């Protein structure tokens, strides 16, 4: 079993849709969690950190449930520019483990 | 602006050749990492380093070694390249132990 598992996708949604990505992690010692965005043939870049209290950045909301070892990312009012691969990451003692990523395509 | 620079974007090597992938960061970060990324397998950690001259094995260290002689530079070495090492290699750095990873643009290696 992988340490970080994501919805396999792909997700194909129309503009304006709300889409949710889920991720589970098996290492209960993981301390920090993040969502990264990776565009085609580019390097991953940080989208947002994930906290138990939940955090919001514009149209993006991330949530961590430590009891269920579950992380989520919600994108509201999807834009064409949101098309990318979204990577869930758990970090323990400085070592970051990535999920395989979920590909999102937003269509006009 | 923070920057992680990988020396080569594209390399083509032959089986058995020695390959050096260089990575330099200008953020004075203690921690540096080498990942490889393959379709269907995601990013997998090869080696990482918490300080100069320190190195730790990641999840897939076989066939690789690393060198960190200076804080800003972390090199990945393939002693004898094989075709199954054809991949995208990503270097990253991190300040502290639970923060954001900053990636270089990647080095796409093809081993023939």
What is the pLDDT, as a whole number, of residue A52? Answer: 81
What is the residue whose two structure tokens read 């990451």?
Answer: A89
Contact assignment for B43 to A46 by CB distance below 8 Å? no
Q: Are B96 and B85 in contact (CB under 8 A)?
A: no
Distance CA B28, CA B89 (A): 21
Distance CA B4, CA B25 (A): 4
Q: Which residues contact B45 (CB under 8 A, 6 or more apart)?
A: A95, A96, A97, B33, B34, B35, B58, B59, B60
Q: What mean pLDDT comes out for the span A12-20?
A: 97
| pLDDT exceeds cutoff 80 at A87 | yes
User: Binning pLDDT at 50, 70 and 90, where does residue A11 land?
Assistant: very high
Residues in chain A: 108
Contact assignment for A45 to B103 by CB distance below 8 Å? yes
pLDDT in tens, chain B (112 residues): 679 999 899 999 999 999 999 999 999 999 999 999 998 888 999 999 999 989 999 999 999 999 999 999 999 999 999 999 999 999 999 987 778 899 999 999 999 9
Contact assignment for A32 to B43 by CB distance below 8 Å? no
What is the pLDDT, as a whole number, of residue B32? Answer: 96
What is the pLDDT, as a whole number, of residue A27? Answer: 85
| pLDDT exceeds cutoff 90 at A2 | no
Query: What is the per-residue DSSP string for A76-94?
Result: -S--GGG-EEEEEEEEETT
More confident residue, A52 or B31: B31
- Of A83, A98, A4, A105, nearest to B38 by C-alpha is A98
Is the CB of B31 inside 8 Å of chain A's CB atoms?
Answer: yes
Distance CA B17, CA B23 (A): 20
Residues A63-86: tens digit of each pLDDT: 999 999 999 999 999 999 999 999
- Give contacts of A 17-56 with B, CB under 8 A: 31-32, 34, 36, 42-46, 49
């Amino acid at each position: 079993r992988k340490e970080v598992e994501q919805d396999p996708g792909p997700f194909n949604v129309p503009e304006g849709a709300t889409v949710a990505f889920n991720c589970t992690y098996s290492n209960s010692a993981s301390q920090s969690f993040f969502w990264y965005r990776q565009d085609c043939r580019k390097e991953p870049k940080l989208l947002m950190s994930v906290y138990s209290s939940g955090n919001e950045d514009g149209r993006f909301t991330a949530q961590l449930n430590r009891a269920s070892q579950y992380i989520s990312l919600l994108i509201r009012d999807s834009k064409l520019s949101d098309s990318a691969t979204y990577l869930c990451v758990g970090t323990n003692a400085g070592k970051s483990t990535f999920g395989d990523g979920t590909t999102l395509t937003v269509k006009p | 602006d923070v920057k992680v620079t990988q020396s080569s974007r594209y390399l083509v090597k032959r089986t058995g050749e020695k390959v050096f992938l260089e990575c330099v960061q200008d953020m004075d970060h203690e921690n540096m990492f080498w990942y490889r990324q393959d379709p269907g397998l995601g990013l997998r950690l090869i080696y990482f380093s918490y300080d100069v001259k320190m190195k730790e094995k990641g999840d897939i260290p076989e066939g690789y070694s690393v060198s960190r002689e200076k804080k800003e530079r972390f090199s990945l070495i393939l002693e004898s390249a094989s075709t199954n090492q054809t991949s995208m290699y990503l270097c990253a750095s991190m300040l502290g132990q639970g923060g954001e990873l900053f990636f270089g643009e990647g080095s796409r290696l093809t081993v023939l």
